[in-house]
């Protein structure tokens, strides 16, 4: 059963690295199950993500799960990255389609998360525990909640072990979503994603983009 995990953005400057270190020291007493590290829009933080994963794994002793997205530029690059993570003892991944800055198809060989999950399973077997994303208030690009559940099921059928939700603040939406998943035959663990409210204006803007309701 999941306890709690924390998601970090890869720092770009020395000052941000110090902030990350300080933040982790404050969160460490909560003993998270794992830490995840994001992958920037369009694959813009690939090197920073990899470096942050390695630094956190060495410094914390807590399992670290890098985000892996379809924005990888080639299958060979993706394979090399996953092989490197495997050799470093990384055993959990968060696999996503990834944000497309201009809304067009990405440059890599995979366009959707289920394709990427299937590739990782085919190449690495059960070496990684794979988490994917899911959306209690459904993805803003999906025409309906039913369509969104269909694509979530495709990710599970491709080999996902569990899912982390897009953040939400309406608990009823989360529990209703669990019921919908059960009826749809989706029985993997679904971990709720929560974003701390530190800037309400920014949160409201991002929530409008994501379709997340703020009660």
Instruction: Indicate which residues carry an active-site annotation.
Output: 7
Question: Which of 176, 196, 192 is CA-nearest to residue 184?
Answer: 176
Question: Which of 42, 38, 30, 32 is CA-nearest to residue 12?
Answer: 38
Strand partners, 96: 69
125 vs 71: CA distance, rounded Å: 22
CB 84 within 8 A of CB 72: no
CB 171 within 8 A of CB 200: no
């Amino acid at each position: 059963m999941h306890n709690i995990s924390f998601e970090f953005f890869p720092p770009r400057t020395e000052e941000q690295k110090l902030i990350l270190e300080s933040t982790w020291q404050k969160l460490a007493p909560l003993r998270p199950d794992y830490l995840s590290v994001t992958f920037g829009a369009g694959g813009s933080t690939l090197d920073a993500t990899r470096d942050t994963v390695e630094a956190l794994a060495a410094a914390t002793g807590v399992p670290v799960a890098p985000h892996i997205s379809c924005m990888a530029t080639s299958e060979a690059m993706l394979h090399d990255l996953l092989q490197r993570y495997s050799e470093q003892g990384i055993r959990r991944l968060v696999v996503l389609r990834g944000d497309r800055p201009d809304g067009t198809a990405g440059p890599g060989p995979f366009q959707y998360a289920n394709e990427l999950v299937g590739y990782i399973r085919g190449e690495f077997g059960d070496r990684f525990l794979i988490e994917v994303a899911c959306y209690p208030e459904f993805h803003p690009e999906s025409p309906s909640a039913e369509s969104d559940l269909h694509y979530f099921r495709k990710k599970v059928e491709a080999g996902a072990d569990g899912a982390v939700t897009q953040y939400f603040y309406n608990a009823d939406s989360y529990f209703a979503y669990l019921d919908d998943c059960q009826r749809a035959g989706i029985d993997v663990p679904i971990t709720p994603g929560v974003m701390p409210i530190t800037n309400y204006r920014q949160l409201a803007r991002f929530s409008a983009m994501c379709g997340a309701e703020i009660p």
